Structure 1
Amino acid sequence: MPLTLLLIGLGFIAWVWLRGMPASRRKQAIMKLTLVVGIFIVVLLAATGRLHFVFALLAFLYPLLRKMFPSWLASLASGDTGQAKTGRQSQVSSDILEMTLDHDSGTMTGKILKGSMAGRMLADLSESEFLELLRYCRAQDEDSARLLETYLDRRFGDSWRADDDAGSSGGAEGEASADRGNGSSNLTESEALEILGLEPGASREEIIQAHRRMMQKVHPDHGGSNYLAARINEAKLRLLG
């Protein structure tokens, strides 16, 4: 009876914990919880002298699992679960800004590297400071301006453009300048790896998967950014070229 109450209590705690997890991380949390429960059951059976039942059950089920899930067992044995690694981030830097994109949530964070606001995080700026920084970027570095516009679009949508007098009056000249910016800079290998969130020595398949995963988050057709999409494509070409 006490063991039953303990299991019920632990099950309730696990249910509350899973409900509080973000949807993007819930699947990973369930896998971890399943692993913990499995270890607990094995330890419990070992403590009560019933561990031989587990081995007998595995011996009985293994031939059946090999027929039903051959590829899954092969990937499990090799340590490859077929899931994208979580916790990855990409960095895109310009002369004035450094942006970080979280692969799991799609959230962008940014830091100012140069100018009167150097060292400050974009999340701490007021609306007037954003516009001041945007004017500074447009005067000093077009890539920084486009990177900041990407951040503002993802954070505020189109609402910030109503207060952007310089941007609304730029017209065709601003679009032409933006077109010239696509692929205008030559990425180093380390910069390309940072953009795709990869480690040195990444395989061709890892590069292709990282590129595909990021394009799903930032592609213009999905409400993303032309500038970021261009940088991601450039990074892929640099690493595979």
Structure 2
Amino acid sequence: MSPISLIILIVLALLITSWVRSLPKKKRKSALIKIALVLLLIITATMALTGKLHWIAALFTAALPFARHIFPLLLRVIPFLSVWQKRRTQQTNSGNQSSENSKIIHLKIDHDAGVMYGTVLQGPFKNRELGTLDKDQFLSLLKYCRQQDQDSAKLLETYLDKRFGPVWRSDDLSSEKPSASAKEIQEAYEILGLQPNCSRDEIINAHRKLMQKNHPDRGGSDYIAAKINQAKDTLLND
């Protein structure tokens, strides 16, 4: 092999490796299989054009006696491999996904893909998937949640922030809320682990410590992070 050919192969290998690593984990396996098939076709075509394809036929013929003994063994092993793969997939999926529930909203979070899926449990859009709602419907649902259940409203706000960013808030006409109730203030103290009449600095420090442990970028829950932020805002604005 000439030095130029070797350099080309190395560059291609680096490019392919970089491309595969940039893919989501779930797509890497299928990408590697496709690459292997393409390489196999290229090698086979090259050997056919250079007249060396007979080597493959010779190797295939030599392997036949071994295949007759190995094939029955593989048939016995395959069911066990299938069971193992199924359990492994279930463990992986359960470890990379989490869910949050409220009275009105059910939210599922795929941490690997960085996406959220949700379902409306009750109200005007009962049994609808959040992904099928448009902006006006979202705002209507958010208004309903704020009237019926604050936890559901916070959960839906978390979903909207993740899906649309802060842009949707400019169209939110129901964001004006009354002062926090005594129950909401007490809940805020409990979330931050503080006592009533604590100082502003204590609130900020408690919020910062909790966010360091529960920030979504560090594997924490978006919903819990939203609750921590809401608790800080409630106490600082009280």
Larger Rg: 2
User: What's the TM-score, normalizing by structure 1?
Assistant: 0.46
User: What's the TM-score, normalizing by structure 2?
Assistant: 0.46
RCO greater where, 1 or 2, for CA within 8 Å and sep 6 or more? 1
